[in-house]
Amino acid sequence: MCDLKYCKSSTLDVIENDIVEVKTVWPKRKVKTSEFHINWAANGEARFHEHCWTQIISSIKRNIRSAFKFSSQEKTLVKEAEKTAEFRNAHKKIIEEAKRVSDLIKSSEHCVAFTGAGISTSAGIGDYRGKSGKWTEMDQNEIDVDHLLSDRIEHTPSKKAKLQTEEKDKDMEETEENGVAYEALRPTYTHEALQKLMTDGYLKYIISQNGDGLHGLSGVPGDKISELHGNVFLEICEKCKRQYNRPSYVMDDVGSQYFEELDDNGKTDIKKPKYAVKCKKCGLSHRTGRKCESKGCSGYLQDSIINFRDLLDDHIFKQAEINSEKCDLMLCLGTTLTVTPASDLVEKIKKPQQYVICNRQLTDKDSACSATDKDGNVLGSRIFGDCDAFFKELMKNILDAGELKKWESERSDRMKVYDSQRTQA
């Protein structure tokens, strides 16, 4: 059901309707919901037809007439909800775009995929933006909406809100991506589809912002991917630079937490591991506690993860840059294209620039997807929705029916291979 009370066709049909999902910061004090125009859920969530959401946003803008008027209180809730909006195209549109994108891929000479957290959400990893994203939840925990509803102009997070944020940070440090162990993660339909496209020669390279190791687990060769932000299964010797791909999570979170608490609080109850060394850039510890196995080396091994303030690996970034410059079709999947310098790579593709973007949030490159050539043909495609849903339709147009059926039926066998490559808890 559409949560706009005045919607004339309240039914939300995922086949026929474009849908928007949002989540606002719900006030702790009582408010008169009977005066609201939106049927907000108890947790602040709501779903709408896209045209209804557009009408809502237009209604809270100045000098725009509307069939109904929002109270100042509900305007505040809508403005907070707007920051979290996730869009989902009607499935019939996804089917249409999948057919068109398959033609773009088949005619491309150097197709590159640029991937973000959104392609791993169905594997159990939370994303960062959107109504339930990690950064969204942290941002919302800092908002004292009761203060905003009091109509004061200035806003400073309350002491209670700050404490809640600190507790949220701690909770996230104590879990592995929403409580799912990295070793338990398996490639999604999208990961496997990208690997298949690469095997069949359609996809030439992958640039990934993810550190979950799922591209490699799916079978993507190491020389066909740039993992810009590292890989939680990869260790590198700090002396000879030998690399070790492990079947289990390699990072030493104890050492990092020791330095983090010391910086934040000036003290900590955590015992510092003997091998831990504070990184001058990110302030954490990259050492894993193991040493290099190369004869005559015995250097300490480090994780490969790029933390905030760390610099990207020059060689990895250079390979990504080279492939971006060769690229004539870039598939931007599960990313809002906001993290630099990684996102700067999408600007380097050949002209006329062809982009296919599939995710649930808006990006700054959305308009580029509708650019046209000299004959008026649309160069790219913009799909709002889950990557798995899109790729299931896309592969129907890439593979013939028999090959598709065989490839999809073999997923259970591939899962056994994945299981053998990860340490079981």
pLDDT, one tens digit per residue, over 88-138 is 999 999 999 999 999 999 999 999 999 999 999 998 886 545 555 443 454
193 in the same domain as 288? no
In a domain, 379, yes or no: yes
Cα–Cα distance between 279 and 369 in angstroms, integer? Answer: 40
Residues 6+ apart with CB under 8 A from 382: 356, 357, 366, 369, 370
Q: Is residue 410 in some structural domain?
A: yes
Establish if 154 belongs to a structural domain.
yes
Count the domains in the chain.
3
Domain assignment present for 3: no
Query: 156 and 217: one domain?
Result: no
Q: Which of 191, 215, 229, 286 is catalytic?
A: 229
Residues 304-331 have pLDDT tens digits of: 999 999 999 999 999 999 999 999 999 9
Asked whether residue 308 is domain-assigned, the answer is no
Q: Please check whether residues 321 and 298 belong to one and the same domain.
A: no
One domain, residues 298 and 198: no
Same domain, 269 and 345: no
Whole-number pLDDT of residue 64: 58
| Residue-level pLDDT at 67 | 62
Examine the pLDDT at 145 and tell me if it is beyond 90. no
Where a domain ends, among 255, 280, 303?
303
Express each pLDDT in 11-39 by its tens digit: 999 999 999 999 998 887 677 788 899 99
Could you tell me the residue range of the domain that residue 135 belongs to? 19-82+128-173
Q: In this predicted structure, what is the pLDDT of residue 151?
A: 44
Structure tokens belonging to residue 412: 């259970």
State the Cα–Cα distance between residues 131 and 46, nearest whole angstrom: 10
Give tens-digit pLDDT for 45-55. 999 999 999 99
Q: Once rounded to an integer, what is the mean pLDDT over residues 273-282?
A: 95
72, 156: one domain: yes
**Domain boundary residue among 155, 173, 191?**
173
Catalytic site residue 155?
Answer: no
Task: Calculate the CA dihedral of residues 111, 365, 194, 198 and round it to 10 degrees.
Answer: 10
pLDDT in tens, 355-367: 999 999 999 999 9
Pair (140, 283) in one structural domain: no
210 and 329 fall within a common domain:
yes
> Where do we find the tokens 């990259």?
286
Instruction: Let me know whether 32 and 53 are in one domain.
Output: yes
Angle between helices 411-420 and 401-409 (to 10 degrees): 40
Residue 160 lies in a domain: yes
Does residue 6 lie in a domain region? no
Q: What percent of the chain has pLDDT over 90?
A: 76
Same domain, 139 and 69: yes
Residues 244 and 95 in one domain: no
Query: Is residue 78, in this structure, part of any structural domain at all?
Result: yes
Closest Cα partner for 345 from 254, 266, 197, 229?
229
Same domain, 73 and 133: yes
Provide the CA 398 distance to its chain's centre, in angstroms. Answer: 25
Q: For residue 320, what is the domain's CATH number?
A: 3.40.50.1220
